[in-house]
Structure 1
Amino acid sequence: MAKKRLTWVDVTKGFLMILVVVGHYPGELDFPLSKYIYWFHMPAFFLLSGLFFKEVKTRAEAGESIRKRFMQLIVPYLFFLVLITAMRYGMELGYGNTDIQWYLNDLWTLVVGGRFVRGAYGVFWFVTALFAVFVMFTFMTRHFSRKVQIGLVAISYVIAHTESLFAQRVLDGGVVESAQQIPLPWNVDVALMALVYFAIGYYLKTFWMEISSKWLGAAAVAVAVCLALDAAGLFDYHLSMKFLRYDHFFLDLIIPVSCTIVVIGLFQRAAKRMPLKWLQFVEKHSISIMYLHIFADIVLNDFFNYGLIGFTAIGLVLPILVSVALEKFVPYGKILLGGFRPRKKPGSAAMVR
């Protein structure tokens, strides 16, 4: 029998996707909203992905599982990469750019991906890092005991912070420039840090499925204290997974996890009392929103003046329209939006989402 879909997961992901859009607002705000969003929103996505990870026992199952994730993650990645690039190049040609070397250099940057692509491709790093994490975790859980797995996750956390210290303290330039001096494609090194949040979601699955009031209260206090300390200038905490900025060995766990507990705990309770279908709707079209919200602003900001609300509305509405059009009018449109589902074997049960 098919199990009931977990509404709070969709609602939470929809909210987090809105934060992704808001976090890319290019204008100035009086309140450091983007900094606080970056404290937790990307770790939360990795954590929620880990929450629904399924172990495999055989090589064939591992291959099938990785193939499924490739179709769900990398196929949409490639589709939107080609789509945005074709539109960008059309605009460049319209502006009179016929420099072949410019296009070759740009294409090479797109192949490398990760933190090396900016602008319209600002979120692409997340998908390749997530796919790398999935492959790593599939290998770990298939070949090693739980104790060894946890040890590997801890080692991964230490290596990630060591790399961050090297980038920030040894290499020249600011956060972005120093990270780009480490020439790894697709941000695969970010998977070292992302693996930790993914594992927290997976190993603590029972905890996340129904966060108790006690833990919600404790996490809310921790978040409030951190916000107060930051506002008072007693510390200046930042987290930027894309550019390897991990500021504090302990706070990089405490702050993202505490914030995620608060968000999930609140939406678990809210989803029991109200439908929140609009957030479910946002989550349904989250792939298109993720890939297109920055590009939508790039195309329109020369013609319209708008603030944060207008930027967020454009970053949600236009990608949703594209998503609906792809689903309805383009062959295999759902697959291009990450909707690939392998054929179920006879007698198999539907899994919880």
Structure 2
Amino acid sequence: MSDELTPSASTPDVLVGRRGRLGLVRLNRPRAINALTTPMVVAVAEELERLATAGVDAIWLDGAGERGLCAGGDVRAVREAALAGDASGAEFFEREYAMDAAVAASPVPVVAWMDGVVMGGGVGVSVHAQRRLVTERTRLAMPETVIGFFPDVGALWWLSRCPGGTGTALALSGTPVGGADAVALGLADQLVGSAEREELLDRAAEGDDLGTAGLGAEDVRSPWLDAAAALEPLVAGDDPALVLQRLRAADHPLAHRLAEEVASRSPWAVAVTLAALRRAERMTSLQQVLDQDRRLAVPMASHPDFAEGVRAQLVDKDRAPRWQHPDLSSVDPAEVEALFAPGTDGGAAHAPG
């Protein structure tokens, strides 16, 4: 059965349609691995609202092209806006987090096809869905600390609830995991074959909730889950420098790899991420985590490390960022704490440099 998709009312970068009892929403920037723009997140939220009253049983959300669902938000555009003093970056975050909330709150179940690259904003548009399907091709990550940012889009709600120390390790390092690990850690529901897409679409179009598709958490083999207990004491506490010290000293191959990755990330971003994650552990709703994301996003995008991290990874691509702090022990905990102070909207923000 073929899909007849048409551009959404807001942008051709989101396509919409219907297959039987199933509404269809497709991110449509395949050359950019469907990186999200403000018009795209607005369109997704609008289409979710429209389809909720269109008589469908579920909404299938996927990405165009062969490379993946979504590589994240268009952080190059956010960086340019921050450097220019333009408020459009703030609007992007506000609209994106509203879209993430809409996915979670959709009265019609959202089925997220999390094949290929699922990173950053791609996690936000999918991890809150009611049915989350990953494949053998899935590469899921919140890699924000490598660009001087923090895992936003409500992802800390899920990462703070991963088994053992796995969520903390993933948040600080930005390490990608495969489909089986995503299911085992609670970041997805079922592991299916990428070649099964059309069959699953047809089943969903006929009203099947796909609850029996693929492998669930009890059936998958996950190296990350196997390491959860060992990682937990290594990443415990609120001191990021101590976490890194423990990872370096541990007699565990995954810990050594994580230590190398955390040490290469923005010290500022790692410190803020750990503080945000610990707060997310105590929160009782996804909305509280998204509200924290709103508080942090603009000051983090205005910090010099964000401009430098995006430059090093995506603009010049030299992979040699010059972070503001030389290491984690140089980050002032009071400066981190100021970001979370009530009524400060991020406290000690910095202009990009």
Larger proportion of strand? 2
Pairwise TM-score range, normalised by the shorter structure:
under 0.3
Which has more helix, going by share of residues? 1
With normalisation by structure 1, the TM-score equals 0.27
| Larger Rg, first or second structure (1 or 2) | 1
When normalised by structure 2's length, the TM-score is 0.27
